[in-house]
Structure 1
Amino acid sequence: MRKLCLALAFGLTPLAVAAQDVPAKPGNNLAEAFGAREAVRQISLSPDGTKAAIIQPTKGHGSALMIGDMVNGGELKTILTSSGNPDKLGDCHWSTDTRLICRISITSDVDGERLGFSRIVAIDADGKNLKMLSARTSDRALGLMQNGGSLIDWGARGDGSALMTRLFVPEVSTGTHIAESQSGLGVELIDTRSLSRKQIEPARESAVDYISDGRGNVRIIGLQPKTGTGYDSGKIIYSYRTADSRAWKPLTTVTVVAGQTAGFVPYAVDPALNVVYGFENQTGHTALYSIALDGSLTKKLVLSRADVDIDDLVEVGRQNRVVGATFVTDRREAEFFDPALKTLRAALGKALPGKIITFIDASADESKLLLFAYSDVDPGRYYLFDKKTRSMAEVLASRPGLDGLKLATVKPVTYQAADGTNIPAYLTLPAGSDGKNLPAIVMPHGGPGARDEWGFDWLSQYFAARGYAVIQPNFRGSTGYGDAWYEKNGFQSWRTSIGDVNDAGRWLVKSGVADPKKLAIVGWSYGGYAALQSSVLDPDLFKAIVAIAPVTDLDTLRNEARNFTNFPQVDALIGHGPWVAEGSPARNAGKIKAPVLLFHGDIDTNVRIGESRLMADKIKSAGGKVELVEFKGLDHQLDDDTARAQMLGKADAFLRSAMGL
């Protein structure tokens, strides 16, 4: 077993890496049980289908890469660990039956700015021969190589090689003839064992995307020009290659304004059909299209709906073969294009009734499929299905610490906003309750460009287990319901979005679910923003506010992006107008009557901790009640078992005290 010190791989000052060799296990109390991270952070199947690589959590916020024998069973063997402080083990996939490729990330302070870095490493299945695949930079580099590359083709030659993007950073050439002169993103063919590398695509300054066909051929390139000030433009220009040529031909141009995308966005190439699949707006909703890559650019509508967006592809196998697409109505649904898998999915649905089933991975010949099945009352379980024997076996449970606990059912509901608009939402009632006169929580989702879905949610399930009714509204400003529902986004159209959130609370009271004196609001990220801003709009509605990693001032959020190349997109998302001041809770803290509890990680790069500190200061200055809990060394997700358990327990105690429970 190898312990990974990412700092050494980055060429930084060596740091001690403390790690555990066994997964963390939740304790007996509910906060620990629900706060425990998933037992399977990520899983992949070896090409021959005999082994699984599983990333599991370890004590605190560390992770371990473990190998399991899918044929003979037995205990998992740990081959690599990361402490989570500062190195984080991301996803791992099989290069061959005996070698894996993994992504590692780290966050570090550089010249007063907190920046994220990534690197790609390869390791044998027995934990030996750990090597870094990302190109190394020297002390002559004229810039930082934050992006360590992305794997775009797992089966370039089928012998342990892979196509990988590389960010080329030019170097000072004084006194040497071997300094790097290229700049921008290119593609290399890398042997994951010998580490030999061959450049396949030259570095291009404006390149942001390369898409392979799964057979080792780069067929799509996306170029995003810079503005005169060095920022990213809001335009990505895509080109393609025909199967028999290296010449680039125009494909499509995509623009992004205030969080909304216009144009065909390519996602995956099907080499057999010689088409690229992608998403584009059709009469106000996102639809799935294909475009022929034979020179004709024949465009076909593959799947669309008039009520919701088509939002994802179903891909299977080592070549990420496109076999279907998904969308969300009350629940996530899939439309399969592959007849055999469509039939199999129907059979699996009968074997696992009431579950949403997704394909996670497959053996090289697709005879063995790794599946994940979940529901509202089942956090999910991984299964291995063998097509040849028509047998299925459970591999691992996602949250074994919750086994034996009766979880709360989640019901899709609709309520009316003040203007008469029907707002979709999910209602979770405590198991065994009559659903009447309960302490209740409105829980708006993050984003704002996101939405809630039916299924298991550890945050809402915890509060339901503690006796609260929980409603999760997909307020206007959420994605998935088309352009008209998204409006100008949840910041510029905050009055509509927050109005819908507040109307969820009023509906809980009107329907008799909630005791009006025991109504609270809890949110994370944009949801935390919504929790705070809800009381700016209606100070008397909620009796307690819990905001986790919240946005609190829109200009501060804008300024946090000023030194990054995507600043124009963030600037346009927030916009300029009276809503910036009116829609910033920190500037309206005097209107908030309810007590406030804030949680924030001090290395959060999504929303800086300064926003919670500002909010706490403003509430105190206005004479309000507020407490800020800071988690040292944690980011936006608070990805730590102990921290999450502490947060849940403290939030529950705070709500009970504030509402007199």
Structure 2
Amino acid sequence: MKHIAWAALAVASLASQAGAASDAATHFGAREDVRQISISPDGKRIAYIAPTGARGDAIIIATVATGELTAISSSSGNPDRLQSCHWTTDTRLVCSIYMVATDAQQRVLPFSRIFALDADGKRVVMLSARTNDRSLNYALGGGEVIDWQADRADGSVLMTHTYVPESTTGSLVASTQEGLGVDRIDTVTLKRTMVEPPRKGAEAYISDGHGIVRIMKLRGENTAGYMKNSVSVFYRTPNSRQWKPLGVVKQTDTTSIGFDPVAVDPDKNVAYGFDAVDGRTALYAVALDGSLKRELVLARPDVDIDAAISVGRQDRLVGVSFATDKRQTVYFDPDLAKLSTALSKALPGLPLVNIVDATADESKLVIFAGSDVDPGRYYLYDKATRKLAELLPVRQALAKTTLATVKAVSVTVADGTTIPAYLTLPPGSSGKSLPSIVMPHGGPDARDEWGFDWLAQFFANRGYAVLQPNFRGSTGYGIAFFEKNGFQSWPIAIGDVNDSGRWLVKQGIADPAKLAIVGWSYGGYAALQSAVVDPQLFKAIVAVAPVTDLESRRQEWRDFTNFPLIDAQIGHGPNVAAGSPAQHADRFVAPVLLFHGDLDRNVSVAESRLMAARLKSAHKLVTYSEIPTLDHQLEDNTVRATMLDTMDGFLRKSLGLPATP
């Protein structure tokens, strides 16, 4: 294996960004050096998004043969943030940018827009459809590329388009078109041809990778204008424009029921998608010839099959992945299956291997490989020469830092249920009587996985043992394990979280007087609610962007079309008040540290403001840091570094530990 020697691009040093922050906080708090990466169809160039300054991003073009790097465009992070860039020709890119803004009612609204530019940064054009002063609404989403038109050489793409109706003004006749459609867009001339007319209630379209739209998903609205909790799926047989019913996917507070397609194989004339079998998600193939013949492709008795793996410019589905103790991939493509085995041998210390992108002929592949003690690195694999060359590390700032190994463990909770979890111990520690942290994940419809976690690794570096439990309410383990979700079934979820802390003590890992809990988003909610259930268990509580009042969270979404889904997730009844930590501030004993960005769309900043106010009114110890102009992820090197040091200092003081050296 060889390395490609790429010259370093000049950007502000992390140390200068973080100011007085410690080296550990600066290095662990730094955003990834490669946020997204793509290879040109001819394999001669790599485009990737890299951080600049504290919160900005730049599009970097790397010439593979010479290693030359050129920054061609950037975003400030205030509030625009580059999300992705993909090649539409050998010399032209289509990129997406994300931003947030507040409206007249001070509601935080997320926006995305798609633009195209040449590899030298010139001929920049907006691909997202524009609204005007006669538009009766505005489109938050700027569209999504659903087909890269690999069979064409003109750089056109198939892209969704949200049509917004207009008012009549003077001699101008209003447009009544409304809903999601699909356009073919020439990314150079901006010539736009309607491929699928807009349909009100349309939620998504899936093409066959060769320019033909084969599947449409319609959600529709109820009489109040809210989206329904079921999606009607339609398909087309080959060489037909007629839509035929494929099925219905119904979303409940527990799960989704019904076949949900994610890809079309035009050669086999089937749709691949997910549906439940024996209480767990599996991959199915359904024939699109009119028969709707259904075939089970892959299922497991222990975990959900939860991700489809696609490769190439046709987004060819080549396999699936699932997570047991570690994430695993099963390739249906025999050549890629052999390659996967070969890569595992070539990279024995990096078991998390993914194919990220490919050239037009798939002769060259961009590979990601990582582990628990390696944040990961990108490689270029050449099939013809069988050479594997390292391109870029994901976190260069941690290159000289010893990281902690992560071990999958099983936690038995009070009712005898076994909870999967991940234990990270400080490097070189005895693993006994340590200051310890339980760190529940966000979501709650999510799960933790084995691998590198910058927050857990920071705490391990500072001497804490960290346990990340996949409490009941986590995804990936089937419908029964999910319960009714982590909000409606919060007594079970929080019980599992608290029992995870008790498990650390019983195993002799944690000093019971030095046990803390730290969480982000739903994890922050779990951290706070843990104190309502058992005020004495954790001696310090840290919550980042937490939900604190379930009824308030429900009301945050009342003006948005997805309100019924949030309403169903939270549910109704006594569990709502009982499961709201802001309504039980009097029960808190341990000190609380809160962080929240004031442009958070996922969880309103009002949640932390309410929690801080209630705790102060109850004369409890609380420190609240509100970060201006940042959203849920707090994507700012300086902010993250300062936050990590603040967390460490707070925990050390609260747990009676010596100050950080």
Alpha-carbon distance in structure 1 between the residues aligned to 2:526 and 2:12:
33
Which of 251-260 and 599-608 deviates more? Answer: 251-260
- Map residues 90-129 of structure 1 onto 2, 5 A cutoff: 90-112=83-105, 113-129=107-123
Alpha-carbon distance in structure 2 between the residues aligned to 1:587 and 1:25:
44
Of the three residues 368, 372, 378, the one matched with 1:372 is 368
> Is 1:83 equivalent to 2:83 in the alignment?
no
Alpha-carbon distance in structure 2 between the residues aligned to 1:183 and 1:135:
13
Alpha-carbon distance in structure 1 between the residues aligned to 2:67 and 2:470:
43
- Displacement of 1:94 in angstroms is 0.5
Preserved contact between residue 150 and residue 165 of structure 1 (Cα < 8 Å): yes
Preserved contact between residue 325 and residue 450 of structure 2 (Cα < 8 Å): yes
Residue identity matched to 1:206: G
Preserved contact between residue 527 and residue 543 of structure 2 (Cα < 8 Å): yes
Alpha-carbon distance in structure 1 between the residues aligned to 2:568 and 2:12:
43
- Structure-2 residue corresponding to 1:13: none
- Structure-2 residue corresponding to 1:55: 49
1:310 alignment partner, SS class: coil
Of the three residues 641, 654, 660, the one matched with 1:658 is 654
Preserved contact between residue 259 and residue 569 of structure 1 (Cα < 8 Å): no
Alpha-carbon distance in structure 1 between the residues aligned to 2:560 and 2:304:
30
- Structure-2 residue corresponding to 1:279: 274
> Is 1:548 equivalent to 2:538 in the alignment?
no
Write the deviation string for residues 97-127 of structure 1: whole angstroms up to 9, x where unpaired. Answer: 1000011122111121221111111000001
| TM-score, L = length of structure 1 | 0.96
- Structure-2 residue corresponding to 1:15: none
Preserved contact between residue 258 and residue 570 of structure 1 (Cα < 8 Å): no
- Structure-2 residue corresponding to 1:647: 643
> Is 1:245 equivalent to 2:245 in the alignment?
no
Write the deviation string for residues 112-152 of structure 1: whole angstroms up to 9, x where unpaired. Answer: 12211111110000010111111121111111121211110
1:32 alignment partner, SS class: helix
1:97 alignment partner, SS class: coil
> Is 1:427 equivalent to 2:423 in the alignment?
yes
- Structure-2 residue corresponding to 1:385: 381
- Structure-1 residue corresponding to 2:447: 451
- Structure-2 residue corresponding to 1:612: 608
Of the three residues 471, 478, 489, the one matched with 1:475 is 471
Alpha-carbon distance in structure 1 between the residues aligned to 2:121 and 2:156:
19
- Structure-2 residue corresponding to 1:337: 332
> Is 1:209 equivalent to 2:204 in the alignment?
yes
- Displacement of 1:25 in angstroms is 3.9
- Structure-2 residue corresponding to 1:187: 182
- Structure-2 residue corresponding to 1:143: 137
Alpha-carbon distance in structure 1 between the residues aligned to 2:636 and 2:27:
13
Alpha-carbon distance in structure 2 between the residues aligned to 1:552 and 1:110:
24
Q: Which runs of 5+ in 1 are unaligned?
A: 1-20
Residue identity matched to 1:658: S
Write the deviation string for residues 604-658 of structure 1: whole angstroms up to 9, x where unpaired. Answer: 0110111101001111111110010011110000011001001100000000000
Residue identity matched to 1:110: D
Residue identity matched to 2:461: A
Alpha-carbon distance in structure 2 between the residues aligned to 1:99 and 1:472:
43
Alpha-carbon distance in structure 1 between the residues aligned to 2:402 and 2:110:
40
Cα gap change, 1:485/1:25 in structure 2, threshold over 3 Å: closer, same or farther? farther
- Structure-1 residue corresponding to 2:159: 164
- Structure-1 residue corresponding to 2:491: 495
- Structure-2 residue corresponding to 1:289: 284
- Displacement of 1:23 in angstroms is 4.1
Which of 138-147 and 155-164 deviates more? Answer: 155-164
Write the deviation string for residues 411-450 of structure 1: whole angstroms up to 9, x where unpaired. Answer: 0001110111111100000001110110000000000000
Alpha-carbon distance in structure 2 between the residues aligned to 1:581 and 1:271:
51
- Displacement of 1:169 in angstroms is 0.8
Preserved contact between residue 23 and residue 56 of structure 1 (Cα < 8 Å): no
| TM-score, L = length of structure 2 | 0.96
Of the three residues 408, 411, 414, the one matched with 1:412 is 408
Alpha-carbon distance in structure 1 between the residues aligned to 2:86 and 2:421:
36
- Structure-2 residue corresponding to 1:18: none
- Displacement of 1:246 in angstroms is 0.8
Of the three residues 20, 27, 37, the one matched with 2:31 is 37
Write the deviation string for residues 162-219 of structure 1: whole angstroms up to 9, x where unpaired. Answer: 0001011111123235542211111100000111110011011111110011100000
Q: Which runs of 5+ in 2 are unaligned?
A: 1-8, 16-21
- Structure-2 residue corresponding to 1:260: 255
- Displacement of 1:32 in angstroms is 0.3
- Structure-1 residue corresponding to 2:317: 322
- Displacement of 1:272 in angstroms is 1.2
Write the deviation string for residues 65-94 of structure 1: whole angstroms up to 9, x where unpaired. Answer: 1100112213x2100011011211111110
Question: Which structure ranks higher in relative contact order (CA pairs < 8 Å, sequence separation ≥ 6)?
Answer: 2
Which of 92-101 and 142-151 deviates more? Answer: 142-151
- Displacement of 1:299 in angstroms is 0.6
1:518 alignment partner, SS class: strand
Preserved contact between residue 25 and residue 401 of structure 1 (Cα < 8 Å): no
Alpha-carbon distance in structure 2 between the residues aligned to 1:394 and 1:23:
21
Alpha-carbon distance in structure 1 between the residues aligned to 2:645 and 2:148:
43
Alpha-carbon distance in structure 1 between the residues aligned to 2:399 and 2:616:
43
Preserved contact between residue 134 and residue 169 of structure 2 (Cα < 8 Å): no
Alpha-carbon distance in structure 1 between the residues aligned to 2:130 and 2:485:
41
Alpha-carbon distance in structure 1 between the residues aligned to 2:53 and 2:175:
42
Alpha-carbon distance in structure 2 between the residues aligned to 1:151 and 1:130:
17
Alpha-carbon distance in structure 1 between the residues aligned to 2:405 and 2:125:
47
Write the deviation string for residues 27-63 of structure 1: whole angstroms up to 9, x where unpaired. Answer: 3700000000000011111001111111001112110
2:329 alignment partner, SS class: strand
2:486 alignment partner, SS class: coil
Residue identity matched to 2:109: L
1:65 alignment partner, SS class: strand
> Is 1:522 equivalent to 2:518 in the alignment?
yes
Residue identity matched to 1:87: D
- Structure-1 residue corresponding to 2:393: 397
Alpha-carbon distance in structure 2 between the residues aligned to 1:409 and 1:179:
62
- Structure-1 residue corresponding to 2:572: 576
Of the three residues 578, 585, 589, the one matched with 2:585 is 589
Preserved contact between residue 254 and residue 483 of structure 2 (Cα < 8 Å): no
2:14 alignment partner, SS class: coil
Of the three residues 309, 320, 323, the one matched with 2:304 is 309
Write the deviation string for residues 461-493 of structure 1: whole angstroms up to 9, x where unpaired. Answer: 000000000000000110000011000111111
- Structure-2 residue corresponding to 1:154: 148
How large is the RMSD of aligned CA atoms in angstroms? 1.0
Preserved contact between residue 208 and residue 214 of structure 2 (Cα < 8 Å): yes
- Displacement of 1:22 in angstroms is 4.3
Which of 401-410 and 139-148 deviates more? Answer: 139-148
